[in-house]
């Protein structure tokens, strides 16, 4: 009906709904205008049977309400939609494992790609439910002079985004040390979190290289309330610290508020504070947080590139993209 009304071929109608197709702009605009007038939308299921592509991307996350996750999901969803993909969001249990029913749902949708932001849902698990899709994992490798470590090649195929943390953490420690900090505390993230553990290992190496000894360990879980309480304990039960490096920005906010409002200490004069992520709230004047930045736009672009590369080369070996970190200096060190 659309082809007849617009006086074009059915192939042209099909191509008009692909934002990256090679169709003259005026012709595509005419087809979409006629389709809107006729209340026509393409049958995605039928197209998927012909093309083998569902134009769906599964995203597995530990939660959707924390600032970093919500900001990343928002940016990623926007970027995927601009490439013609819809997003399927799957949330893990509180122990970060995946419900078997959700895995069945995922298989039924036959996504073109799946991005796993949690290391608990292993490639071996996804390999059992995915058909042609190759999952993408965010990897926080240990860095050496020779480069960085890569996962064992044995096992199911998966692609990965490597987030290199050494540069940003080294800059943070150098800044704190430069302003006189000698006793550094590390506020951890969730127990056994790959990101938090990798940050701790990197921090230990940087501090050892700079003659600062071991960090004082403070147990956190990426949340504000736990960070607040742990900071009070650090100074009232323990011996305190000259500086606190938090595994994420929300934890750093809890540290800052505990220091200022509960312990009546000044930031940065008495205690320096550094966060990690550089979420949108970090530049708010109440915190003005110095933090190690993961560039969100760069990270999202890298994930989208992995999807597009895999779809263009479905039989390729493991694909990689790599992003760096850097320090953003604001008012909590100085």
- Distance of alpha carbon 263 from alpha carbon 278, whole angstroms: 25
Q: 281-300 pLDDT, tens per residue? A: 999 999 999 999 999 999 99
Domains of the chain (ranges, CATH numbers): 2-42 (no CATH), 52-162+296-322 (3.40.50.2300), 166-294 (3.40.50.2300)
Give 146's contacts (C-beta < 8 A, 6+ positions apart).
Answer: none
Measured between alpha carbons, how far is residue 197 from residues 105, 160, 173, 201, 211 in Å? 32, 18, 17, 6, 21
Q: pTM score > 0.85 for this model? A: no
Asked if pLDDT for residue 73 goes beyond 90, the answer is yes
User: How does the average pLDDT of the chain come out, rounded?
Assistant: 88
Q: 57-68 pLDDT, tens per residue? A: 999 998 888 999
Window from 49-58, 133-142, 292-301 with minimum mean pLDDT: 49-58
Give 69's contacts (C-beta < 8 A, 6+ positions apart).
Answer: 61, 62, 63, 117
Give 217's contacts (C-beta < 8 A, 6+ positions apart).
Answer: 185, 186, 188
Q: Sign (positive/negative) of CA torsion 206, 210, 214, 218?
A: negative
Q: 234-246 pLDDT, tens per residue? A: 999 999 999 999 9
- Distance of alpha carbon 65 from alpha carbon 119, whole angstroms: 19
Indicate the pairing of strand 290-294 with strand 320-328. Answer: antiparallel
Q: 168-220 pLDDT, tens per residue? A: 999 999 999 999 999 999 999 988 788 899 999 999 999 999 999 999 999 99
Window from 56-65, 70-79, 140-149, 204-213 with minimum mean pLDDT: 140-149
Asked if pLDDT for residue 24 goes beyond 80, the answer is no
Give residue 240's pLDDT. Answer: 97
- Distance of alpha carbon 256 from alpha carbon 69, whole angstroms: 22
276 band by pLDDT with thresholds 50, 70 and 90: very high
Helix orientation angle between 224-236 and 249-257, rounded to the nearest 10 degrees: 50
Residues paired with residue 321 on neighbouring β-strands, in sequence order: 161
Alpha helices in the chain (DSSP H): 2-6, 10-16, 25-37, 44-51, 67-82, 100-109, 123-127, 166-178, 194-209, 224-236, 249-257, 296-312
């Amino acid at each position: 009906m659309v082809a007849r009304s617009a006086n074009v071929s059915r192939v042209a109608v099909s191509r008009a709904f692909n934002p990256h197709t090679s169709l003259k702009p005026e012709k595509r605009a005419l087809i979409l205008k006629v389709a809107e007038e006729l209340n026509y939308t393409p049958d995605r299921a039928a197209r998927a049977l012909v093309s083998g592509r569902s134009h769906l991307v599964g995203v597995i996350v530990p939660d959707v309400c924390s600032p970093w996750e919500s900001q990343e999901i928002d940016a990623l969803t926007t970027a995927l939609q601009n490439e013609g993909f819809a997003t399927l969001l799957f949330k893990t249990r509180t122990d970060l494992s995946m419900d078997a029913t959700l895995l069945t749902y995922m298989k039924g949708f036959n996504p073109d790609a799946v991005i796993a932001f949690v290391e608990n849902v292993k490639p071996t698990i996804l390999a059992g439910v995915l058909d042609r899709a190759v999952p993408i994992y965010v990897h926080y490798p240990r860095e050496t002079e020779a480069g960085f470590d890569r996962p064992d090649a044995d096992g199911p195929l998966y692609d990965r985004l490597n987030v290199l943390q050494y540069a940003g953490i080294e800059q943070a420690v150098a800044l704190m040390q430069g302003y006189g900090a000698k006793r550094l505390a590390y506020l951890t993230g969730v127990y056994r979190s790959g990101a938090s553990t990798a940050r701790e290992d990197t921090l230990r190496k940087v501090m050892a290289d700079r003659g600062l000894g071991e960090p004082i360990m403070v147990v956190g879980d990426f949340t504000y309330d736990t960070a607040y309480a742990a900071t009070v304990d650090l100074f009232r039960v323990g011996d305190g610290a000259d500086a606190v490096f938090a595994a994420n920005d929300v934890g750093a906010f809890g540290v800052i508020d505990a220091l200022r409002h509960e312990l009546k200490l000044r930031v940065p004069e008495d205690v320096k504070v550094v966060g990690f992520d550089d979420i949108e709230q970090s530049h708010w004047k109440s915190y003005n947080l110095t933090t190690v930045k993961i560039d969100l736009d760069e990270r999202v672009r890298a994930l989208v590139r992995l999807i597009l590369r895999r779809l263009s080369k479905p039989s390729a070996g493991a694909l990689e993209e790599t992003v760096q970190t850097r320090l953003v200096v604001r008012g909590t060190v100085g």
